[in-house]
Amino acid sequence: MSKQSKLDQQLCFEVYKASSNFAKLYAHTLKPFNLTFTQYLVLLALWEEDYLFVKDIGLVLGLGIGTLNPIIGRMLERGWLEKQQSEKDKRAFIISLTEKAKSAEKPIERAIIEKITSCNFVDIDAVTLMANLKSLNAVLGQLD
């Protein structure tokens, strides 16, 4: 019988590895679209609700402005997003989708579904796993 290391017994380590592996899976799938995993998350937020303040995108994704601004900057350069100054607050900027981003939603979605389906996650109840992770994140989010 092989002994498990302390690291292998940690839930946090398994969650970390799963997160890292999902990011790699998505990065590979998004490469033909010239998008990173985090850029895809920005698109997901805007496909849900277009014309968001940068700070609101950060809140949705759990990312700070310092992390988010360079991501948005690269997406602006590559033609995925548009940026306009808020009329109410000149310090705030509204981010919106370009036609390129709007028309890419379905092809990107199909590519991701095909990749995940091809992985054939046998014996994994994704709905239960997601519910458990959401519960875990809710509890951990209250620790701040």
Name the 3-class secondary structure at 92: coil
Query: How many other C-beta atoms are found inside a 10 Å radius of the C-beta of residue 43?
Result: 21
pLDDT for 32 equals: 96
Concatenating the DSSP letter of every residue in 16-74 gives HHHHHHHHHHHHHHHGGGT--HHHHHHHHHHHHSSSEEHHHHHHHHT--HHHHHHHHHH
Per-residue tens of pLDDT for the chain, all 144 residues: 567 788 888 888 988 998 998 899 999 999 999 999 999 999 999 999 999 999 999 999 999 999 999 999 999 999 999 999 988 888 899 999 999 999 999 999 999 988 888 877 656 777 787 788 888 888 888 886
What SS3 state is found at 12?
Answer: helix
Q: What pLDDT is stored for residue 123 in this prediction?
A: 64
pTM across the whole model: 0.83
Residue found under tokens 């310090």: 91
Confidence at residue 121, expressed as pLDDT on a 0 to 100 scale: 67
Number of neighbouring beta carbons within 10 Å of residue 55: 13
Domains recognised in the chain with CATH numbers: 31-141 (1.10.10.10)
Q: What angle do CA 3, 23, 111 make, to 5 degrees?
A: 125
